[in-house]
Amino acid sequence: MSELITVSQATTASMHILQVVRQYQPMIGGLEEAVRNLSVELARSNGFSVSVLTLDRSFRNPVARLADAEVIDGIPVRRIPYIGSSRYPVAPAVLRHVQDADLVHVHGIDFFFDFLALTKVFHRKPLVASTHGGFFHTAFAGKLKRLFFRHVTRRSARAYSAICASSENDGTLFAAIAPDKVEIIENGVAVDKWRDAASIDLRKSIIAIGRFSENKRLAALIETVDALNRLDSAWQLTIVGQESDLSADDLRQFIRRTKRGGTIRVHTNVSDAGIADLIAGTSYIASASQFEGFGLAAVEGMSAGLVPLLSPIPPFRKLISESGAGAIIDFEQPEQAAQRILAVHAELARNHHVPRRACVEFAGRYGWGTVAAKMATVYRRAIAERSGQTSILVSG
């Protein structure tokens, strides 16, 4: 009797995976949550030793330095200094921290992605990257970004065993520069965090969850709800998240300039339990974002039973199409958007429980257990390739 065993599968328990990401807890956002949940699941269910390396300051408050090291959710976290801007923070000290890793997983396409590729001849560690939307979140320096992508990013990608595209959109984008490296592994979702927490009864209430940044186009969402209130004053909007290039005061000032600002509220630094309480009186989740690598917040909201109202970008069109629930809304046209939301609400009034349940069930497919298992396969393959190991035949 013979059994085929890969060397990499046999030694998983001793593998140390270093997750490298520019921002991590206590900062809160889609990228930070993705790395946290992946790390915890890899350690819990897949037997890896996992640690996180990140920067020592928040981009929102760069004056305050965070602890050099701590343990969060059982995962060791180390922080290093950087210079430069949040768009391309330079942190060469990363090289001192990769030596004890069996594999380095870089999250995002930034300095870490380029620098670890450039220095691979020295550190000789297998590299895997997750795209998380790349760096095309805004139109800022669009031509320069495209030039950088076609030349520098293309060259850096050669050093990676795998480029894990966080969405089909990312997969198409990165296949143009690294067709033999790309594997689509969409972000997971903490589907149990707010599972089934939305209002059972249909409410004229919308929530937006996520970072307060320009690319989320919160102003367009506010203007749409203002137009909605001119048609029906019962509608409410709750915006909850973390400050970024927009502050809570920026949003509140914009709301005060609208005619019905009292129906729109802004909350920051709310716990998951606190957000669950807000969701409990709500029926819809909305995003007017102009760019998403995946749409994590939207899927988290759907896991609660919130019906999505989303801007017409490819990842959101995919969510609406595959779930069969919610609607694409052009928030750049507030009056038309308001009419569209009223039509959606009238339709839902006839059978709200059906799309609500469809949202919960659809979100369930994005559980982190499935995503971590896919990533573990990528890791094992990359480590085996680096070691020149494929498989051994054990007879018995």
Same domain, 345 and 244: yes
| Average pLDDT rounded to a whole number, residues 112-130 | 97
Amino acid (1-letter code) at residue 10: A
| Residue recorded with tokens 């007017």 | 288
Strand residues in 1-158 grouped as ranges (E)? 2-5, 16-21, 49-55, 69-72, 75-80, 103-107, 127-130
The answer as to whether 130 is a domain residue is: yes
DSSP classification of residue 181: T
Predicted local confidence at residue 12, as pLDDT: 61
pLDDT reading at 78 higher than 50: yes
Same domain, 371 and 359: no
pLDDT reading at 68 higher than 80: yes
pLDDT reading at 279 higher than 70: yes
The answer as to whether 290 is a domain residue is: yes
| Average pLDDT rounded to a whole number, residues 10-28 | 85
Rounded CA-CA distance 105/31 in Å is 13
CB 104 within 8 A of CB 126: yes
Phi, psi of 130 (to 5 degrees): -115, 135
Cβ neighbours around 331 below 10 Å, total = 28
Same domain, 132 and 81: yes
Number of domains in the chain: 2
Among 73, 190, 162, 133, which residue's Cα sits nearest to residue 378? 162
Question: Mapping DSSP to helix (H, G, I), strand (E, B) and coil, where does residue 67 land?
Answer: coil
Rounded CA-CA distance 299/319 in Å is 8
Token pair listed for 27: 């900062």
Same domain, 14 and 37: yes
Same domain, 130 and 242: no
Top-confidence residue, 102 or 139: 102
Same domain, 148 and 67: yes
The answer as to whether 170 is a domain residue is: yes
The answer as to whether 8 is a domain residue is: yes
Q: Which CATH number goes with the domain that contains 333?
A: 3.40.50.2000
Domain range holding 114? 2-188+367-395
Rounded CA-CA distance 20/129 in Å is 9
Predicted local confidence at residue 200, as pLDDT: 97
Q: Is 176 exposed, middle or buried (0-12, 13-18, 19+ CB in 10 A)?
A: exposed
pLDDT reading at 390 higher than 50: no
| Residue recorded with tokens 């059994």 | 3
Phi-psi region of 295 (alpha: psi -120 to 50; beta: other; left: phi over 0): left
Same domain, 179 and 301: no
**Mean pLDDT (the chain, rounded):** 90
DSSP classification of residue 22: S
